[in-house]
Amino acid sequence: MSAAGEGLLPPGLGYGQLVGAVADPLMRGRMGRWYWTAFAAALLLTLVLVGSIVWLFIEGIGIFGNNTTIVWGFPIANYVWWVGIGNAGTLISSMLLLTRQPWRAAINRFAEAMTLFAVSIAGLFPILHLGRPYLSYWLAPYPNTMLLWPQWRSALVWDFAAIVTYLLFSVMFFYIGLIPDLATLRDRAQSRTGQVVYGILALGWRGSARHWARHDAVYRAMAAMAVPLVVSVHSVVGLDFAAGLMPGWQETIFPPYFVVGALFSGFAMVVVLAALMRWGFGLQSLLTARHFEAMAKVILAASVIMAISYGTEWLMSWYGGERAERSFLRHQLAGSDALLYWGMIACNVGAPQLLWLPAARRSLPVLIGISLLVNIGMWLERILIIWDTLSHGYLPSMWRPWHVTVWDWALLAGSLGFYALLFLVFARVLPVVSMHDMGKLRHEEGGSR
């Protein structure tokens, strides 16, 4: 373990210092101006989100730029993108735990929080995009006076199930992982309120060996469940499209391609958030260059797989020989939206290739820049999957251009703001780094020394 763990902790860091580095900002630290500025900005955008939703309910979904041909647009792209963002948290927590990657300890906590918030926000969009959002509960299988079940053949029903399952699971996984740290906070809390609240949430955790043993068993079992769940949720999102009949959607590659795409955008988001946390909370000692380099490698690998996926799509569209598929491919590569498409390729395939250079992987500004590009590229990919296919279907008579309205942007910006707000609140009330996981790492490193 020592080789793998090397460089993940500063030498000579004691348990007390470690816990202090994480917990002190919560207990004693007064948030600086940057925090409140960010908070105000996030709150403002959240109000934009709320305002947009209110207007949506008053006016109807005509406020979006969709039309008869391009019936989906921003909301569905946002949904797929947000679900993708959520992917990395669970993967970091579970897959890296199962494969015993020690570097996950510093980032798994906020990566999980990221998942939770992203999936919650993602879940809003399919509801908001409905023509009659107040009837969205009809997707749920419940006994009703209409004597009707949902229509099980629809990918949207699978999707509804997958998202709800994923959200519930993420909440539980996050909470179980948090229990020992909540106990730590309870013990270190300065105020009575803190003691009571953290105390209740800690569920009487005393840190006994039996507690640790049971916690570890449950946590690992859940991690084992999480991996297939992550794969399934993104596969189902892919099936939303692949189960269709439209050129550009009806592709068997979609489920794995969506999983990798989600991993890709998720890790890019983790990099951005990790850099922000590290700077904002002074966690340089815990989030080291090693962590960023490991994530950079994941992003690079994912980008290569994405490149292979794009290539496969092109090949199959051409090789299949179907007129509409080939016409679609021409439209994608050289049509009215080709600029966006090549922009997406540049962001998703081009930019990450820089990470072959060790120097680029270690340079935080470069890595952040690439991560932001990846997130933009992945969002472009989501919107283009919708726009390209729907605007260029089987019958040329119904080919139409897409439109974007101010409400499309408002809802996207608002969701980003709401995400930031949730994160800022999280950072203020819960430990952003898993203290017990870091302690374990410290223990293992110390043991080997």
Residue type at 44 in one-letter notation? L
- State the Cα–Cα distance between residues 207 and 271, nearest whole angstrom: 32
Q: Kindly indicate which of the ranges 54-62, 93-101, 294-302, 372-380 contains the residues binding other proteins, using the contact rule CB under 8 A.
A: 54-62
Q: Is 404 in the site for other proteins (CB under 8 A)?
A: no
Specify the residue, 159 or 381, whose C-beta has the smaller distance to other proteins.
159
Residues in the chain: 449
- State the Cα–Cα distance between residues 437 and 104, nearest whole angstrom: 9
Determine which residue in the list 327, 332, 375, 434 makes contact with other proteins, applying CB under 8 A.
327
Contact set for other proteins, span 130-169 (CB under 8 A) = 130-133, 135-136, 138-139, 146, 148, 150-151, 153-157, 160
Specify the residue, 243 or 301, whose C-beta has the smaller distance to other proteins.
243
Q: 83-102 burial, b if ≥16 CB within 10 A, otherwise e?
A: bbbbbbbbbbbbbbbeeeeb
* Count of residues touching other proteins (by CB under 8 A): 48
Determine which residue in the list 67, 285, 312, 336 makes contact with other proteins, applying CB under 8 A.
67
Site string for other proteins, 172-211 (x = CB under 8 A): ----------------------------------------
**Phi/psi of residue 151, nearest 5 degrees:** -95, 105
What is the enclosing helix (H) or strand (E) of 109? helix 108-128
Residue type at 278 in one-letter notation? R
Specify the residue, 157 or 364, whose C-beta has the smaller distance to other proteins.
157
Site string for other proteins, 70-99 (x = CB under 8 A): xxx---------------------------
Specify the residue, 132 or 192, whose C-beta has the smaller distance to other proteins.
132
- State the Cα–Cα distance between residues 206 and 257, nearest whole angstrom: 44
Smallest distance, other proteins to C-beta of residue 237, A: 14
- The secondary structure of 280-346 as a DSSP string is HTT-TTTS-HHHHHHHHHHHHHHHHHHHHHHHHHHHHHHHH--HHHHHHHHHHHHSTTHHHHHHHHI
Q: Is 53 in the site for other proteins (CB under 8 A)?
A: no
Burial of 362 (0-12, 13-18, 19+ CB in 10 A): middle
- State the Cα–Cα distance between residues 122 and 445, nearest whole angstrom: 39
Q: Is 62 in the site for other proteins (CB under 8 A)?
A: yes
Q: Is 28 in the site for other proteins (CB under 8 A)?
A: no
Contact set for other proteins, span 237-266 (CB under 8 A) = 243-246
Specify the residue, 181 or 240, whose C-beta has the smaller distance to other proteins.
240
Residues that bind other proteins (CB under 8 A): 59-62, 65-72, 129-133, 135-136, 138-139, 146, 148, 150-151, 153-157, 160, 243-246, 323, 327, 390, 393-401, 403
